[in-house]
Amino acid sequence: MTSSWTELQQAVRRALRSVPDLAAVLQAAEAEHRRLTPYGILMLLALLLPFVGFVLGSPFGRWGGWIGFGAGALLLVAYWIWYSNRVDALTTAVKERAVVPALGALGFRLQETVPEELASRQRVVLADVFSAPKVELHHPTAATLGGRAIQVAHAAAQRYMGRGLYRTVFSGLVATAAAPTVGQRVLVVREMGVLGALEDVKRRLAGLRRVELPDPTFEALYTVYAQSEDLSAALHPFFRDALVQLGQVPRARPVVAFHEGQVHVFLPRREWLNPAAWDRVSEDQLSSDLEALLQASFLAAVAAGASPQEVLASVRELTV
């Protein structure tokens, strides 16, 4: 299976080589990124403009302070609009000239929005798995790998902490495919050690029970919850092997949920295809994001019943 991940990396490199003038596009974007970095830091200072205006205007009469406050607020809004437009222009340039062509070379189509029915299903599963009722979905893409239709988006799930505050409990890719042969709810989460007892109680309240598999390597990395102990339709050997290989890196260890005839693969990724949030706009960063896309899609396709060979063959056919 390690060779599968290697082949996906090679497919990304082939796709990037097909993008016209990629090096020049990324070099120009990185130059703009460096120019914008100090302005992003200055944004924090710009937040003080209304208060500075109030202080400076106070000596000029009863309304002087408030006039100064309003002037400072207007300057803050103008600065924020200018900075946001520059960031949007950077993101759009990289998206149109690098991201979209690379996705196309890999067989993915970037969509404007997540289809409403799919978004509703993904929100329900995210809320159930991560106890996070507030979900945002961005950068939806779609492809067919190994004969399976795959829908991928970047999700941010937030849990309400009280007093109007939310905490992000998951940020990453969610890849969804149809899995009609799995007739029960199944959840695969990271092995939590001593905290697993609390997770057991939580999942039992949701109608799931812990199921142990005769696979020590898999059990060391993951915990499985299901409605019954028959997991042959969900966790077949190819899929377990793929999860084990990807799970060797803790921060990349996915969560998988089979729910109402679909499989959802959650792959942690704080930012994705967002050049403004990258430390550096580079081919390595773009390649890393595209590799994460293929990893999540590969897992979803294999979980949906495709063999690794079928998925790799379809990727190979698109990028030769």
**Tens of each residue's pLDDT in the chain, 320 residues:** 557 888 999 999 999 999 999 999 999 999 999 999 999 888 888 888 888 888 888 888 778 888 889 998 999 999 999 999 999 999 999 999 999 999 999 999 988 888 888 889 898 898 888 888 888 999 999 999 999 999 999 999 998 888 778 888 899 999 999 998 888 899 998 887 767 778 888 888 888 888 988 888 998 899 999 998 888 888 988 999 999 988 877 677 899 999 989 999 999 998 898 888 888 999 999 999 999 999 999 999 999 999 999 999 999 888 77
Q: What is the DSSP letter of 91?
A: H
pLDDT number for residue 299? 94
Q: How far is CA 228 from the centre of its chain?
A: 30
The sign of the dihedral angle between the CA atoms of 245, 249, 250, 256 is negative
pLDDT number for residue 246? 85
Give every strand in the sheet of 109-110, ordered side by side.
109-110, 134-145, 148-162, 165-178, 262-268, 255-259, 186-190, 222-226, 209-211
Gap between the Cα atoms of 170 and 130, Å rounded: 7
Report the phi/psi class of residue 109: left, alpha or beta, with left for phi > 0 and alpha for psi in -120 to 50.
beta
The neighbour count for residue 193, using CB atoms within 10 Å, is: 8
C-alpha gyration radius of the chain: 23
Gap between the Cα atoms of 66 and 191, Å rounded: 57
Gap between the Cα atoms of 234 and 187, Å rounded: 10
**Are 220 and 191 within 8 A, CB to CB?**
yes
Gap between the Cα atoms of 284 and 180, Å rounded: 37
pLDDT number for residue 154? 94
